[in-house]
Each structure stands twice: as C-alpha cells, then as structure tokens.
Amino acid sequence: MRILFCFLYLLFLNTVTTEHTIEPALLETALGSIKGIKGVFTETGDILYEFRGIPFGKPPVGSLRFKKPVPFGFWKETLDATAFRSACPQNIPDFMPELSRPTTSEDCLFLNVYVPKSLDKLSNFSVMVWIHGGGFEVGFGNEEDLSRMAIDGDVIMVSFNYRLGIFGFLAINHPAAWGNYALWDQKLALQWVHDNIEMFGGNPSSVTIFGESAGGYSVSLQSLISSNNGLFHRAIAQSGVHSKILMRKQDEVQEYANQLSKKSLCPLGDEYKFVDCLRQKQVQELLEIADFYSTVSEDKLKRHIFFKSHSYPVVDGELFTENPIVSLEDKTSAVSQFFGSLDFISGTTSNEGSLLYLISFPELQEFYRFNVTEGVPHKVACEAILAPYVEKYLRGDGSIKEQMCNFYKADASTKEQSLRATELLADVMFTYPSIKMLEFHAALKNGKTYQYLFSKTSPDPFGGTPPEWFEGCGHGDDLIWLFKVGDHEISDDEKQFSKNLIQYWTSFAKSGRPIGGPESMFWIPFDLSGRMYLNFDIPTVLQSFYKMETSELWSDIYTLIEIYNNREEHDEL
C-alpha cells in the first residue's frame, strides 16, 4: 500500500560536504587503482577518505534496460572517484521545490565509500550500507552526507544508487520483463561490498544495512531474500518495512502493462517485442509515459490520497518464489532462517502521518471542503484514506469501514481529530507493519530484536513549518539527527542527543548491541512478552507495549484481508 505521491517518503535535501579536501588518495584494489579524496573533518580534524562514484554495475542501457544488472568488473586506467556521479532517471514534481534535482543518467549504478582514519587494509572496520528512500520513484545514494557517521562511529559507510520507477520495476508477468530490477541492483551493490570492502579496510563479516522509508522497506526485503546469506549480518529498517499487501499482484501488473501499451503505442501481443519497443524509447519519454499521476483518474486524484504505486516488487520466480511474508510465516523456511540469523532494529517516528498535510492538495481540500492548515475532518480520514483501502483489500466491506472509521474518530477538538487522521495514515503505512515485522523476528528467537520510537522533533521539518495543529516528529524528520545537525543551530543537549543516536546505530553495527554515549539509556531488546522499546527524545526513555490497541485492530484487519484474498483465489479457480 502506498499514498499518492509516495515518492515524498524521504527528504531530498542538498548534500552538504563537511570535510576540507587536502590531497588525492590513491588505493590499489583487485579491480584496479582508484583515486579518491583524503580530507579533514572540519569539526574534529579527523581524517576521512572518500571514494565517490565507483561503478558496481554496467550501464543498464540498450539491451540491458529492464534486465538484472551485470557486474561492472575491472577497469584498466586509474578510476577517478573524486566526484559523485549521476543519479538514476526520475520524475521530480514541480510542486515540491524543496526536493533536490540531481543530474541524472541511465548510466547510474555507482556507489560511494567513506573510510575513517586510514586506508590500512588491516583496519577491519565494521561497515554500514545506506539504502536511500524516495518511494522507489526518486532519490540517490549521496543525498545524505555519511561522513559524520563514519568519523564519529568509527565505521566505513557505503551508499549507492539503484534504478527507480519504470526502470527499476517494469514487470509484465512474463520472462521478457520479470521486474524487481531495483532490488537486484541493491543486491549487486551488497555483493560488491562483500567482495571488495576488505580492500578499503572493511570487515566483510560485519556488515549492517540501514535505510529509511523506501530504504527501510528495501532493508526489510533484502533481509527476506535467503540468497543474501553472508552479504550482511544486521539490519535497521527506519520508517518502512515490507508487508504482505505490498507485493503487486498479477492482475495489477497486467493492468499497468496495458496502460503502458496504450500510452507508448507499443503493442502487447508479443511480450518480447513490447519490451524491446520500450527499450527504444528515450529516457524522458519513458518517464512521461510511466508518470505515476497520469495512471490515476482525475476523479480519484481529488477524492483519494491512498494508492498503491506501480514501483513495487512482484513475485518473479527467482528473487521471490512467493510473497516473502508467506515464507516468513513458516519458521522452518530458508527465508525465516536467514531473517532470524540477523540482528534487527525497526521503528517509526511519532507522527509518520505528517505526509497527510503534505499531500492534501487544493483539489482534495476543495472536494471535501476543508483547509488543511486549520485541520483535517473525520470525513477525510474515512473517505479519502479508509474507503479506497477497504475497497482494494476488503471488497468494500461497509461494516469493516465503519468499525475503522469509529476507531479513528475523536470526540474532542478539531486538533484531536486532525491528529487521529495523521495517526490513521501512520498506522496503515508504517506503525503496524513495523510492529508485525518485529514480532516475526522476535518469534524466531535467534538474532537480537530492537524496537524504537523517534519522538524528537526536527529543527527543519520536511515540507516546511507544519500546521499549528500538528504534533510529533514527522516522516523523515529523524534523519537530520543522524546526518545534518551541523547545518543548524541546536542546543548542547541536542548535540549530545545526536551523538548518542549515532553511537546507538554504529555500536549496533559493530556488535549487534545498540549502546549510546555516556549516561545514555540502556536499550533492552524487544520480545513478545515484554515488548520493550526505546523512545528517542530528550530525555530518551525506555518504554513498553507500544500501541497495543492499535496493533490488535490491525491484526484483525490483516486476518480479514487474508480471508478475502483466499476467497478471490478460490473464485479464480
């Protein structure tokens, strides 16, 4: 499930480089020699090495478009890795001026490596691999500056690009285009890290993947691919995990293929010719053909804010032989065994529903006769969010919709009702899926499981100043405390909070135990009896049993969805 304009999931702020370049850095690797940057981290004077724009996959162009990535392999001349390379093609909307607009190219499969202190190949640094978000529609690896985490956490940091939109997810239920190319790109980048990070001083046996929003979703999916065993050992899924209903079904895939055929004038009769026809299209033409908004009717655009994106995975018979949640329900499956072997952190911000006021566009406000700056009425929660959800997953069952509407109704002020509406959106998309994934992991009783809630608000909220009625930490507003506190005037307590957060994340990467700085709160693991979680705020506190009533409701809803799915499958037979 996804909200309309789901690519808003992650903040796209300009990357700020905090080190001062002093000289080039040369490194000999098994792939060839690389010229990077040796710099000084200006806050501390520590040395940091950066290698930017290292190719890990051959350009996915021509006959390689809409195919699994091919390893780049070796290079003969010294590779210039002193500058970031192009992002993958993406459609960035004009109505979101705060989003970065990077240079793009189909030749975009590059990664970046940040090494603290020295290039000693015996350093044995733990490694953290960042997977960017953006709803699988926008984003790029170097949108966040990972240098501070590398220095303060004493770990190697890696980021990378992966294909987006139609380039990353075209699928037609046929061998001509099985889809999931974005996930294959991610997998290839992780394989590259495993095979090569030792040459940068990294420990391939101590790799943690982490990401936010679609990046968190990617982290959880990669953690459910058993062939990734050995590529990484710990995972942090921030504000996004996979859930059972997020896999695109065959009828959804076919419907989208039909739409693409009509818009592209590429006939669908012969699947191979159809895909070859799309390969002949220019990048910009494909972006326009596959533009997400153009596939949604004008009526739905003004009435609904809940849609499922076309840029999501499918069961392809290779990466996924079935929905991985189905595999996870069997504790003896290879998927369960791999997921259970990982140490796992997952959590959400205190109000992921901030997306609601960001995507309540004028047409929607006019249709429902409200002003989002003043508040969000109950009708919007019921009709714009719940109605399409119930229609899609519960056959429009009116009694279920009424039950859910009543649950998210506030009898008090307009402010309280508005916050209940944002809570609904958060619960649908982030909160319950995260809790469910934590429950799956804890039940396997192997790797350590940790839950968090992020309540500390941002000095620079995504999308600008929120409405007066809004409360809490919005979607993506946790990232500033990991990556960008140096860009803002903050208190000493906030500086220490940020340092502690980085220590929690990087100590987890080293040992599987998240430990903060001096006098920080001890983080007790999550299990099915105590259900402990760490609430990141000032002060950070340990709490338990997060949103149990909500979890019980959504557990019942998911059970009903399963019943309806089984009926549909029976009807098709």
Q: Phi and psi (nearest 5°) for 130?
A: -90, 130
Strand, helix or coil for residue 543:
strand
The H-or-E segment that residue 22 falls in is strand 19-29
CA 236 – CA 345 distance, rounded (Å): 5
Q: Phi and psi (nearest 5°) for 326?
A: -60, -45
Please confirm, yes or no, whether 213 is among the known catalytic residues: yes
Count Cβ atoms below 10 Å from residue 373 Cβ, excluding itself.
Answer: 13
The torsion defined by the Cα of 299, 560, 236 and 140, in degrees rounded to 10, comes to -20
Interior CA angle at 372 toward 136 and 465, to 5°?
Answer: 70
CA 157 – CA 197 distance, rounded (Å): 10
Count Cβ atoms below 10 Å from residue 283 Cβ, excluding itself.
Answer: 15
Beta-strand pair 532-536/202-212: unpaired
Q: Which of 448, 442, 429, 434 is nearest to 531 (CA)?
A: 442
Sequence-distant (6+) residues with CB within 8 A of 443 are 331, 528
Tokens of 99: 């989003």
- Of the residues 213, 218, 239, 507, which is catalytic? 213
Considering Cα of 427, then 429, then 430, then 433, what sign does the dihedral take? positive
Tokens of 445: 């009783």
The H-or-E segment that residue 417 falls in is helix 414-426
Concatenated DSSP letters of 127-187: EEEEE--STTTS--GGGS--HHHHHHHT-EEEEE----HHHHH---SBTTB---HHHHHHH
Write a three-state SS string for 242-265.
CCHHHCECHHHHHHHHHHHHHHHC
Count Cβ atoms below 10 Å from residue 73 Cβ, excluding itself.
Answer: 11
Q: Which of 370, 371, 401, 372 is nearest to 387 (CA)?
A: 401
Residues linked to residue 49 through DSSP beta bridges, in sequence order: 38, 115
Tokens of 281: 């299209």
Considering Cα of 256, then 259, then 260, then 266, what sign does the dihedral take? positive
CA 398 – CA 390 distance, rounded (Å): 8
Tokens of 320: 């996924």
Give, as one character, the DSSP assignment of residue 64: G
Q: Classify 124 in phi/psi space as left (phi over 0), alpha (psi -120 to 50) or beta.
A: left
Environment class of 485 (CB within 10 Å of its CB; exposed 0-12, middle 13-18, buried 19+): buried
Would you please indicate which residues are annotated as catalytic (active-site) residues?
213
